């Protein structure tokens, strides 16, 4: 019997690549997005349901999960992929921008998890894959909002990993580095600060650094999708999956994967998980 994955943000980038990969490998796919017109490339396949899900709309989250279960009978894997980045000097950033960053990247993600958990608990199985970022374990200047949201995803995912282990539900984090997507376009918000001249030198330096970044070193979305597929299907208790040579190098300079896994193993032993 085919398994089913629900993907948020499936209209482009990593989400679309993941939805396509899982569908090509025989999975049922609930491909969700804010505008279903953007899912034309996925619609029409017998094993794909394209439906609306807006992380700022609680009713749409509940409806999308319900539609997926009604169509395919269960949701075995949730891929929380949808999100965006807000950058700029914190002092110059309106609270409305800050709240939206966390509403989408954190609270919408949590609400989607809450929506799938009743069915996963009932079947005593499931995998939740949260797409974090290399920026979930290290930071760049002017990224206090984005990094804050991704560090929140890292923390809640690690804690949830312990919480759901006794129910047969695994929680995974995928941490990509640079990816050739539209992250710098519609998935990116930058608050400039001309009225705060003290920050302008850093703003100018950051803008120049972004322009000079070589996209040749970035991953393609399908490469991240392969890492996601591995995380969803390897049957292990591993939490973190780094995606991309750049991310591996950056995080390797900051953390030891072996120490991370040893720490998690020790916590699981302490609590009998």
The beta strands (E) that lie in the chain are given as: 4-7, 28-33, 48-52, 77-80, 85-87, 126-131, 169-176, 188-190, 240-243
Q: Exactly one of 84, 87, 146, 199 is catalytic; which is it? A: 146
Closest of 267, 240, 236 to residue 251, by C-alpha: 240
Kind of pairing between the strands at 126-131 and 169-176:
parallel
**How far does the chain reach from its first CA to its final CA, in angstroms?**
29
172 is catalytic: no
Q: Of all residues in the chain, what percent are helix, strand and coil, respectively (each to 5)?
A: 55, 15, 30
- From residue 239, alpha-carbon distances to 73, 85, 154, 183, 189 in Å are 27, 23, 10, 24, 29
- Residue-range domain boundaries for the chain: 4-267
Could you tell me the pTM of the whole model?
A: 0.90
Q: How far apart are CA 265 and CA 273, in angstroms?
A: 9
> Which contiguous run of DSSP H or E holds residue 267?
helix 257-270
The per-residue pLDDT for range 203-244, each reduced to its tens digit, is 888 777 665 554 557 889 999 999 999 999 999 999 999 988
132 is catalytic: yes
Cα–Cα distance, 264 to 261 (Å, whole number): 5
Tell me which of 87, 150, 172, 199 is the catalytic residue. 150
Give me 151's structure tokens.
């560090």
Question: For the ranges 84-88, 160-164, 215-219, which has the lowest average pLDDT?
Answer: 215-219
Query: Per-residue pLDDT tens for 19-45?
Result: 999 999 999 999 999 999 999 889 989
**Confidence class of residue 195 from pLDDT cuts 50, 70 and 90?**
confident
CATH class of 4-267: alpha beta
Number of C-beta neighbours around residue 65 at 10 A = 24
List the catalytic residue out of 11, 12, 132, 243.
Answer: 132
Does the active-site annotation cover 255?
no
What gap in Å lies between CA 32 and CA 53, rounded to an integer? Answer: 5
Tokens representing 102 are: 């966390």
């Amino acid at each position: 019997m085919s398994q089913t994955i629900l993907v948020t943000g499936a209209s482009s980038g990593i989400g679309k690549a993941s939805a396509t990969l899982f569908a090509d490998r025989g999975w049922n796919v609930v491909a969700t997005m804010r505008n279903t017109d953007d899912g034309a490339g996925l619609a029409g396949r017998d094993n794909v349901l394209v439906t609306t899900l807006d992380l700022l709309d609680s009713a749409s989250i509940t409806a999308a999960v319900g539609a997926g279960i009604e169509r395919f009978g269960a949701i075995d894997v949730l891929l929380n992929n949808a999100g965006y980045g807000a950058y700029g000097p914190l002092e110059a950033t309106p609270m409305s921008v800050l709240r939206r960053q966390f509403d989408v990247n954190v609270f919408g993600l949590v609400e989607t998890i809450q929506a799938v958990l009743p069915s996963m608990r009932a079947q005593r199985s499931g995998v939740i894959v949260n797409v974090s970022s290399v920026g979930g374990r290290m930071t760049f200047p002017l990224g206090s909002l984005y990094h804050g949201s991704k560090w929140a995803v890292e923390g809640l995912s690690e804690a949830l990993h312990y919480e759901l282990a006794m129910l047969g539900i695994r929680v995974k984090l995928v941490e990509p580095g640079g990816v050739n997507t539209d992250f710098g376009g519609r998935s990116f918000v930058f608050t400039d600060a001309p009225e705060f001249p003290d920050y302008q030198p850093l703003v100018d330096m950051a803008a120049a650094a972004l322009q000079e970044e070589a996209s040749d070193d970035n991953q393609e979305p399908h490469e991240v999708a392969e890492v996601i597929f591995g995380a969803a299907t390897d049957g292990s208790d591993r939490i973190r999956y780094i995606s991309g040579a750049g991310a591996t190098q950056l995080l390797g300079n900051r953390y030891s994967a072996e120490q991370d896994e040893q720490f998690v193993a020790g916590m699981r032993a302490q609590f009998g998980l």
